[in-house]
Structure 1
Amino acid sequence: MTAPAAFDHAMLLAAGLGKRMRPLTDTRPKPLVTVAGRTLADHVLDRLAAAGVRTAVVNVHHHADQMERHLAARTAPRIVISDERAGLLDSGGGVKKALPLLGKRPFVVCNSDSFWIEGPSRNLPRLFAAWDPDAMDILMLVAPTATSIGFDGPGDYMLDAFGRLERRRERAVAPFAYAGVLLIKPQLFQGMPDAFSLNRLFDAAEAKGRLHGRRLDGIWLHVGTPAAIDAAEAQIARSTMA
């Protein structure tokens, strides 16, 4: 199955310092940390390729030369580098800098420190099929916190019966976490500063009722620390034997 034409481009956020993954990230970028014999970056890029995404823009900063050498071996999706060696721009600024490489249609944005074990239905095609540009500015993949691996926070969002997301209030608990994948319109970046967090766009879309979510089918693996690697590998092994 191939992605609809509107989603043949994706952005992989791979420029961060990976401080929580130290000491592993003292000598490599976090996206090149290996889980179950494959790098985090390749786990995400494999899923994008399987969903028909043809071009993935990857931003680089920390150990950028390593990232470029590793990605040069990939043929699908086609890799285009967005160079942030001059300075980190945060998640939103990184995407804004890469907009000329991403085209004018809505595109996919992925974090590089999480992926998932597929359930009965593959998640990216389901997410693409759920996109409704008349009702949505952003569509997120969200994962139930109760069944996620490597995530121990109080959750990020509530999901209503219409698929709209509402951010967790202070001191509250929410049943869903942002699973590190979203669809977004490029127009949202107009007028934004050169460096900013994507959370600003999330909150603006929510205020307009245009931030939507789709529940992940399967098991989300959040790999943000060295300890989370063991937990993810153990879950992959259990799923393989099932």
Structure 2
Amino acid sequence: MSRPFSTAMLLAAGLGKRMRPLTDIRPKPLIEIAGKPLIDHVLDRLAASGVEKAVVNVHYLAEQMEAHLAGRQHPKILISDERAGLLDSGGGARKALPLLGKAPFIVCNCDSFWIEGPQNNLEALEAAWDPERMDILMLVAATATSVGFDGRGDYHLDSAGLLSRRRENETAPFAYAGVLLIKPELFEGTREIFSLNRLFDAAETKGRLFGRRLDGIWLHVGTPEAVGEAETKIAQSMVE
């Protein structure tokens, strides 16, 4: 199956501090959920949606990541090496641009993980993409039905799909689910080290930051406790 977005960037270079002690001996993307490393859950979903190439950035315990990914055929894996220093989410994607190409691409956190609903979320996200109106289109999850998320939310989503970030003392009903579609030209003139949040805010200011609501249950696997919560929810979903 060929999809409109054939290339993805996986952000996998982080230190995984909130996952300690599980990340004392392995990088977070290699922590297993339901018998499979987190990064393989993401890559399998991308492959099933027709993504042909995935660029994975590495830093912490990079040799483990490279060894694990060496045998992967679908999607094809390219490594963006950040051993010299972490570049944050935006800087990591910026460094990988020569590998990603000039077309819009998918960005995934290595723990972008959910139980799929009736509609395939990657396919729905791609179908909603409109480059004439959008610079970024992100998958957002309802915080009320998410597992392992105890924050105050990230965004409000209006009826047209426009996103607006919550104010400091406010609560928002949606959280960024760790997957988005983005235009590479947004990285022009950016710094070597920066967060993708800068691009989110710039797109929002221009009225070009859009969201698509996740169909299913988002599993926010950010702490060791959340691993068990996610596995319990997966087991429940298989018998429902």
Please confirm whether the aligned pair reaches a TM-score higher than 0.5, indicating the same fold: yes
The structural deviation recorded for 1:50 is 0.8
RMSD, matched Cα:
0.6
Aligned partners of 1:114, 1:96: CA distance in 2, in Å?
Answer: 20
Asked if 1:29 corresponds to 2:27, the answer is yes
Structure 1: runs of 5 or more not aligned = none
Aligned partners of 1:57, 1:177: CA distance in 2, in Å?
Answer: 24
Aligned partners of 2:219, 2:78: CA distance in 1, in Å?
Answer: 26
**Letter in structure 2 aligned against 1:143:** A
Aligned partners of 2:182, 2:152: CA distance in 1, in Å?
Answer: 25
**Letter in structure 2 aligned against 1:124:** L
Percent of pairs with identical residues: 73
Aligned partners of 1:72, 1:184: CA distance in 2, in Å?
Answer: 27
Aligned partners of 2:100, 2:112: CA distance in 1, in Å?
Answer: 22
Aligned partners of 2:175, 2:85: CA distance in 1, in Å?
Answer: 29
Runs of 4+ with deviation above 2 angstroms:
none
The structural deviation recorded for 1:73 is 1.8
Aligned partners of 1:186, 1:240: CA distance in 2, in Å?
Answer: 38
Contact 2:140 2:176 in 1 (8 A): yes
Q: How does the TM-score come out when normalised to structure 1? A: 0.98
1:185-223 deviation per Cα after TM superposition (whole angstroms, max 9, x unaligned) = 000000000000000000000000000000000011110
Correspondence for 2:93: 95
Out of 60, 73, 80, the residue aligned to residue 75 of structure 1 is 73
SS at the partner of 1:155?
Answer: coil
Count of matched residue pairs: 240
Correspondence for 1:156: 154
Correspondence for 1:61: 59
**Letter in structure 2 aligned against 1:176:** F
**Letter in structure 2 aligned against 1:125:** E
The structural deviation recorded for 1:114 is 2.9
Structure 1 residues 101-180: aligned runs within 5 Å: 101-180=99-178
Out of 36, 39, 42, the residue aligned to residue 37 of structure 2 is 39
Structure 2: runs of 5 or more not aligned = none
**Letter in structure 1 aligned against 2:77:** I
**Letter in structure 1 aligned against 2:188:** Q
Correspondence for 1:182: 180
1:102-131 deviation per Cα after TM superposition (whole angstroms, max 9, x unaligned) = 010000000012311110010000000100
Q: How does the TM-score come out when normalised to structure 2? A: 0.99
